[in-house]
C-alpha cells in the first residue's frame, strides 16, 4: 500500500513520531513517502501537497494539519489523522491506537465522504472548505451588513461583526464556538451563523444543499473571506458570495467510531 505521511512541523515530538511511524510502516511492507515540508525537517526527499497520490494519507497533528492537507491536495486521497494537537476532532486515532490500526491495513479500509462547500465571489471560484468560510471586516470594531438570498428570495438582512458559512463537519469547530448547533455530518447542508449580530432575531440557519444560496455584502466597508483558516481573499464592496456543494468531497478513513461518540469524548470529557 502506498502511504504518504504529513506532520505538523512546528512540533518536534510530532516529527519524531512521524519518523518512527515511517520506519514501522516500511517494516510492515508499505511504500512510504513524506510530504515535502515534513521531509525537509526529517532530512529526506518529499512530495509536494499538490502531487500527493496513493492509497492513504496519514496526518500527524491537530485539526489544522488535517485541514491544511485536504485544502492543499489537488486530488483527494483518503485521510486518517493521528492526534498531536489540542482537541483533534478530525483526527480519529490517538498515538497508542496506531499500531493496531496499521496492522490491519492489508485487509483494506472503509472510506467516508465528507461534504465540502465551494465559495464563489462575483462568479470567481475562491476555493473549497471542509469546515467553514468566515467573512469579517477588514477594520476591527466595524460591523458589516449582510443579505441572505435562498433560491433568489430575500431571506434575511442583518448587521454583524461577520458571518460563518459552515459545513456539518465544521459545526463542531468555529461554528460551535460562535453559538451554532452540532450537526450530524451525514446531513448535507449549509450552516449560516452571524457573528455577534446586532439584532437578537438574527439566528443560525441550516439550509439544504439542494437550494441556491447567495450572500451579499450590503456595505461600503472592506471585508475579507477566510477559507478553513488556510487562504484569505479580499472582497470587493457589495460583493456577492455564492455557496455551492462541492463536487469534490473530502475522504476520511472510517474506523467505525460514531460521530456522537467523538462528540462525547472530545468535546465533553476533555
- Provide the annotated active-site residues: 63
- For residue 58, give every residue at least 6 positions away whose Cβ sits within 8 Å of its Cβ, in sequence order, or none: 3, 4, 5, 6, 21, 79, 80, 81, 82
Dihedral sign for Cα 105, 110, 115, 120, please.
positive
Residue 114 backbone phi and psi in degrees, to 5: -120, 125
Q: Could you write out the DSSP letters of every residue in the chain?
A: -EEEEEE-TT-HHHHHHHHHHHHHHHHTT-EEEEBHHHHHHHTS--B-GGG--SSEEEEEE-HHHHHHHHHH-SS---EEEEE-SSS-TT--B-GGGHHHHHTTGGG--EEEEE--EEEEETTEEEEEESSEEEEEESSTT--EEEEEEETTEEEEEEEESEEEEE-SGGGGTHHHHTTPPP--TTS-EEEEEEES-SSTT---EEEETTS-EEEEE-SSS-EEEEETTTEEEEEPTT-EEEEEE-SS-EEEEE-S--HHHHIIIIII--
Residue 5's SS3 state is: strand
Amino acid at each position: 500500500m502506498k502511504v504518504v505521511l504529513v506532520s505538523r512541523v512546528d512540533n518536534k515530538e510530532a516529527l519524531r513520531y512521524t519518523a518512527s511511524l515511517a520506519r514501522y510502516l516500511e517494516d510492515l511492507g508499505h511504500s512510504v513517502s513524506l510530504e515535502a515540508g515534513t521531509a525537509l525537517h526529517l532530512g529526506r526527499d518529499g512530495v509536494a501537497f499538490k502531487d500527493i497520490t496513493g492509497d492513504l494519507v496519514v496526518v500527524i497533528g491537530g485539526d489544522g494539519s488535517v485541514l491544511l492537507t485536504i485544502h492543499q491536495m489537488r486530488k483527494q486521497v483518503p485521510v486518517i489523522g493521528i492526534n498531536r494537537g489540542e482537541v483533534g476532532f478530525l483526527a480519529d486515532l490517538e498515538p497508542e491506537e496506531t499500531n493496531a490500526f496499521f496492522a490491519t491495513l492489508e485487509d483494506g479500509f472503509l472510506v467516508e465522504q465528507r461534504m465540502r462547500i465551494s465559495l464563489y465571489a462575483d462568479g470567481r471560484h475562491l476555493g473549497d472548505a471542509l469546515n467553514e468560510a468566515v467573512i469579517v471586516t477588514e477594520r476591527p470594531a466595524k460591523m458589516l451588513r449582510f443579505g441572505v438570498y435562498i433560491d433568489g428570495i430575500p431571506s434575511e438582512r442583518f448587521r454583524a461583526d461577520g458571518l460563518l458559512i459552515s459545513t456539518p463537519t465544521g459545526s463542531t469547530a468555529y461554528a460551535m464556538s460562535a453559538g451554532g448547533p452540532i450537526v450530524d455530518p451525514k446531513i448535507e447542508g449549509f450552516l449560516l451563523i452571524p457573528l455577534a449580530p446586532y439584532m437578537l432575531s438574527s439566528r443560525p440557519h441550516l439550509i439544504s444543499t439542494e437550494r441556491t444560496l447567495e450572500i451579499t455584502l450590503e456595505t461600503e466597508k472592506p471585508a475579507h473571506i477566510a477559507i478553513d483558516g488556510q487562504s484569505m481573499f479580499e472582497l470587493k464592496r457589495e460583493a456577492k458570495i455564492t455557496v455551492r456543494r462541492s463536487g469534490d468531497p473530502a475522504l476520511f478513513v472510517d474506523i467505525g467510531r460514531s460521530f456522537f461518540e467523538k462528540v462525547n469524548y472530545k468535546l465533553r470529557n476533555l
